[in-house]
Amino acid sequence: MRVAITHNNYLTAHTKVWVDRYLYEVSLKTKVGKMINALTGNTYTGTNYETLAGLGFADGHRFCTFNQAMKLGINPKAMKGIKKVATLKFCKEVEEADGKKILDVKFFSVFDYEYICKRQRAYESIIQSNVA
């Protein structure tokens, strides 16, 4: 739930950014309002959380990558045509052979897990009706 602080029904850009940042910081401390990975149960944080929240997803929404969906038992044919929700990133500091530390950034696409499950059920019902 977002809270808008208005003055005479006028919301300034600064106020909106401050309110969003405040709610984000509160959610980090209370672990409320997190976006969750469907396979691992880990929560998305930082810019990944902001990206998903900016797209309008509600608290507790679950996401997964294509490969994670396969591990969860989703048929790849059921995912045909599903568009990714967002491209997120994973940053990790690694040490090279010469001792230099560099930041390794990997990008990955995530899908809406609830929508994938709906498509899986629809796919299974189509297969069942074709068998009968």
Q: What is the pLDDT of residue 26?
A: 45
DSSP H/E element including 106 = strand 101-112
Is the pTM higher than 0.85? no
What rounded mean pLDDT belongs to the chain?
A: 80
Task: For residues 104 and 18, give the distance between their C-alpha atoms in angstroms, rounded to a whole number.
Answer: 31
Task: For residues 87 and 51, give the distance between their C-alpha atoms in angstroms, rounded to a whole number.
Answer: 9
Phi, psi of 55 (to 5 degrees): -85, -5
Q: What is the pLDDT of residue 59?
A: 83
Pick from 73, 76, 68, 79: which is nearest to 119 by CA?
A: 79
80 Cβ partners below 8 Å, 6+ apart? Answer: none
User: Coil, helix or strand for 3?
Assistant: coil
Q: Which residue positions in the chain have pLDDT lower than 50?
A: 1-31
